[in-house]
Amino acid sequence: MNETIRATDWDALAAAIERRRDDLVALTQDLIRIPTLNPPGEAYLEACEYLQKRLQQQGFQVELIRAIGAPGDSDRYPRWNMIGRREGRHTGPCVHFNSHTDVVATGSGWTFDPFGAEVHEGRIYGRGACDMKGGLAASIIAVEAFVEVFPDYPGAIEISGTADEESGGYGGVAFLAEKGFFGPPRVDHVIIPEPLNKDRICLGHRGVWWAEIETHGRIAHGSMPFLGDCAVRHMGAVLQSFEDNLYPALAERTTPMPIVPDGARQSTMNVNSVHGGLADGYDGFPSACVPDSCRMVIDRRFLIEEDLGEVKSEVTALLDDLGEVRAGFSYDIRDIFEVCPTLTEKTAPVVRAVAGAIEQVLGRQAEFVISPGTYDQKHIDRIGKLKDCIAYGPGILDLAHQPDEYVGIDDMVDSAKVMAIALHGLLYGDQAI
């Protein structure tokens, strides 16, 4: 092992975090009790003001930024974001910890109060405990301990609490990245404390393509369907073609990339919705009509080895084939959303720093994983043009969005130590591994 943080410094840092254990619990509880539900985007300002007060006491310059004009932003539900920056004694790199403040709906099945933040047997329960207020709190405690032990650090440290990750991040990280908050020259390294388990580093995610396919028909009286052309039957043929041709091909397209869970280690496609005929939600007596339109939304997740253009043409080729063999078949296809896969190299500085810190704190090698879905790293990569970004944080991924979501207190303490050592490595240029 090359030079790492000195043993005495490490002891001091670990002790500074241990001393803050109760503070870490209280901070997490406070954050969970602010019900930042998204949708619709409740209480973002309250969360930002809470974080602002806390970080200002630690010497951070804090900006609150509303994503005016972003999707979802309104006077009723303003998309507020918080970015705090603390300059070091002299010049150096900037390390940024980015957490989203929003949480998803509570759903049913809870035995704890979703916003009560009750502590039970070493865990804190509540919506957002693991995804990702526990991670946000751990990063704040890591930074506060670091600043106490290394008051003369070089460079700069940033912490952000951003809106709307659960709905695409357009009122949060994407908006801020457009304004230059998530890339050079302002920021060099980003850690996103999403719940990936305390010994795992998430290097990136698969790609996404959402599209809407519409099949066309001709309206006629339902008693004489032969006088019309049923768009829903045409869509049925599309689905059959996907079953016969597309799904078997996707199942064979696997990757050695360490995507978790294992089932996502291949190309996948979800049929998100199908609508045709009577209007959605209509519960009156049906009128006797042949549907002249049917729409289907597909959610295709693709591998880093695949090309987005080929992913799309694979689907349109099947639709074109149907046009050759099926009388009256015609379609339109409309792109809704696309994100290319993102992958940070294992040799990147932030990966090396966090992997080395995991080894030091937990005494075992870090596991590298790739997320099946996307998260805010996509905006940092694509808009911020910053590649040195990973997700690393406490909490068990499978608990995210579930009833009785919790975060383990020991896990938060451990990952705060990892974050603090990694921060040292990145600011002081340690060779972590």
- Residues lying near Zn ion in the complex (CB under 5 A): 131-132, 194
Q: How many Cα atoms are found within 13 Å in the side-chain-facing hemisphere of 264?
A: 20
- Residue 371 Cβ, how far from Zn ion at the closest point, in Å? 10
Assign residue 328 a region: left if phi > 0, alpha if psi is -120 to 50, beta otherwise?
left
- Residue 354 Cβ, how far from Zn ion at the closest point, in Å? 18
- Residue 166 Cβ, how far from Zn ion at the closest point, in Å? 7
How many Cβ atoms sit within 10 Å of the Cβ of residue 425? 26
- Residue 194 Cβ, how far from Zn ion at the closest point, in Å? 5
Q: Which residues contact 21 (CB under 8 A, 6 or more apart)?
A: 409, 413
- Residue 131 Cβ, how far from Zn ion at the closest point, in Å? 4
- Residue 135 Cβ, how far from Zn ion at the closest point, in Å? 8
Q: List the one residue out of 70, 188, 193 whose CA is nearest residue 141.
A: 193
Nearer to Zn ion, 315 or 419 (CB): 419
How many Cβ atoms sit within 10 Å of the Cβ of residue 65? 19
Report the alpha-carbon distance of residue 288 to residue 285 in Å, rounded: 10
Nearer to Zn ion, 172 or 277 (CB): 172
Nearer to Zn ion, 131 or 359 (CB): 131
Report the alpha-carbon distance of residue 375 to residue 206 in Å, rounded: 10
Q: What is the DSSP string of 282-307?
A: --SPPP-B--SEEEEEEEEEE-TTS-
| Contact present, 392 and 354 (Cβ < 8 Å) | yes
Nearer to Zn ion, 136 or 235 (CB): 136
Nearer to Zn ion, 40 or 59 (CB): 40
- Residue 103 Cβ, how far from Zn ion at the closest point, in Å? 9
Q: How many angstroms separate the first and last alpha carbons of the chain?
A: 6
Nearer to Zn ion, 73 or 194 (CB): 194
| Contact present, 127 and 114 (Cβ < 8 Å) | yes
Report the alpha-carbon distance of residue 294 to residue 233 in Å, rounded: 9
| Contact present, 422 and 350 (Cβ < 8 Å) | yes
- Residue 71 token pair: 């999707």
Nearer to Zn ion, 132 or 355 (CB): 132
Query: Shortest Cβ contact with Zn ion: which residue?
Result: 131
Nearer to Zn ion, 104 or 289 (CB): 104
Partners of 221 in beta bridges: 289
Report the alpha-carbon distance of residue 282 to residue 129 in Å, rounded: 39
- Residue 206 Cβ, how far from Zn ion at the closest point, in Å? 16
